[in-house]
Amino acid sequence: MRTAFFSARRDEQPFYQGSSHPITFFETSLSAATAKLATDYPAVCLFVNDNANAEAIAALAAGGTKFIALRSAGFNHVDLQAAAHHGMVVGRVPAYSPYAVAEHAVALILALNRKLVRANARVHENNFLLDGLMGFDIHGRTVGVVGTGQIGSVFAGIMRGFGCRVLATDPFPQANLAVEYVSWQDLLTSSDIISLHCPLTPQTYHLVDDAAVDAMKPGAMLINTSRGGLVDALAAIRGLKTGQLGYLGLDVYEEEAGMFFADLSGSVLQDDVFARLLTLPNVLITGHQAFYTRQALENIASTTLQNITDFEATGSCTHLVKL
């Protein structure tokens, strides 16, 4: 089945070589304006920053698209009602490597705590002073995990290995997971480190707002490797300026579309909020790379191609996104 891949990075394209499905790779992202590129393609394949809104869905449908294959677990960038209206089926990759994302969250914690970016820069300048590099023992700290799906569960296990008390909040607790489930408010007030591993939904949009920051333990660390919209960046900045929020580690950002996965080094940064975050010494940001391991890319490709194969054969797929 002919498939148009949008937001196709060059580094991921080799993982789809040898597919029985004819694939055309477009480096541009999907929007209402670019949807016409998929004319006469029964399937399109989208990544996290493609914008499959109602207008884009209508344009895809007009061009003959019947199936949307997502190269991601999240689907908040797809208007599912519009897809259903046009008779489109949407499939996703529910799990690719929970270890990749969980381990990256831990990397952000360690780098922030021990100020590794600043320490590395100093050594390269032959400055071996330790002033300003003091961290804290992670052992014995209380870690709050928001969302205990596959990634959150792996992250919780790693933090237990550090000797941490692990709290968690999730509307669907796992009976056999060795964490202490508490309310969102109790997690905020008790945790030294909070890591977000929940999906972005209307209920979780700006989950971390001014009220949440104010409720945290003074100097707490916040990590987000899930979806940018979970965190109100302005609220985080206000908390960082007062010291209420002690550290912020982000792999995702609410307005990352059009910025992440692109080389903008020759351009003037247009996002003033993001620019402000970059000025703060206790903020560490990576460009949506938590998923980025070889094992994860192999699994994403395998599941995506299987979804396309299943739809071609049956009109549905195992990893169906339901309205």
pLDDT score, position 59: 98
CATH topology of domain 98-285: Rossmann fold (3.40.50)
pLDDT per residue as tens digits for the range 294-312: 999 999 999 999 999 999 9
- pTM, to two decimals: 0.91
Domain residue limits, the chain:
3-96+294-314, 98-285
74, pLDDT greater than 90 = no
pLDDT score, position 309: 97
pLDDT per residue as tens digits for the range 104-149: 999 999 999 999 999 999 999 999 999 999 999 999 999 999 999 9
From the candidates 77, 92, 197, 288, which is the catalytic residue?
288
Spatial CA neighbour of 83 closest among 54, 62, 63, 59: 54
Instruction: Tell me, yes or no, if 92 is annotated catalytic.
Output: no
Q: Which amino acid is at 298?
A: E
From the candidates 92, 104, 256, 319, which is the catalytic residue?
256
Spatial CA neighbour of 74 closest among 288, 273, 235, 287: 288
pLDDT score, position 323: 73
Instruction: Tell me, yes or no, if 27 is annotated catalytic.
Output: no
Instruction: Tell me, yes or no, if 206 is annotated catalytic.
Output: no
The pLDDT of 234-249, averaged and rounded, is 98
Please check whether residue 248 is in contact with residue 282, taking contact to mean a CB–CB distance below 8 angstroms.
yes
Q: Which CATH superfamily is domain 3-96+294-314 in?
A: NAD(P)-binding Rossmann-like Domain (3.40.50.720)
Pairing type for strands 3-5 and 43-46 reads parallel
pLDDT score, position 7: 96
pLDDT above 70 coverage of the chain, percent: 100
**List of long-range contacts for 107-112, beta carbons under 8 Å, 24+ apart:** 108/223, 108/225, 108/249, 108/250, 108/251, 108/284, 108/286, 109/138, 109/193, 109/195, 109/221, 109/223, 109/249, 110/138, 111/249, 111/284, 112/221, 112/247, 112/248, 112/249, 112/282, 112/284
pLDDT score, position 85: 97
Task: State the Cα–Cα distance between residues 148 and 169, nearest whole angstrom.
Answer: 7
Please check whether residue 240 is in contact with residue 282, taking contact to mean a CB–CB distance below 8 angstroms.
yes
3-state secondary structure of 231: strand
From the candidates 77, 227, 254, 319, which is the catalytic residue?
227
pLDDT per residue as tens digits for the range 19-36: 999 999 999 999 999 999
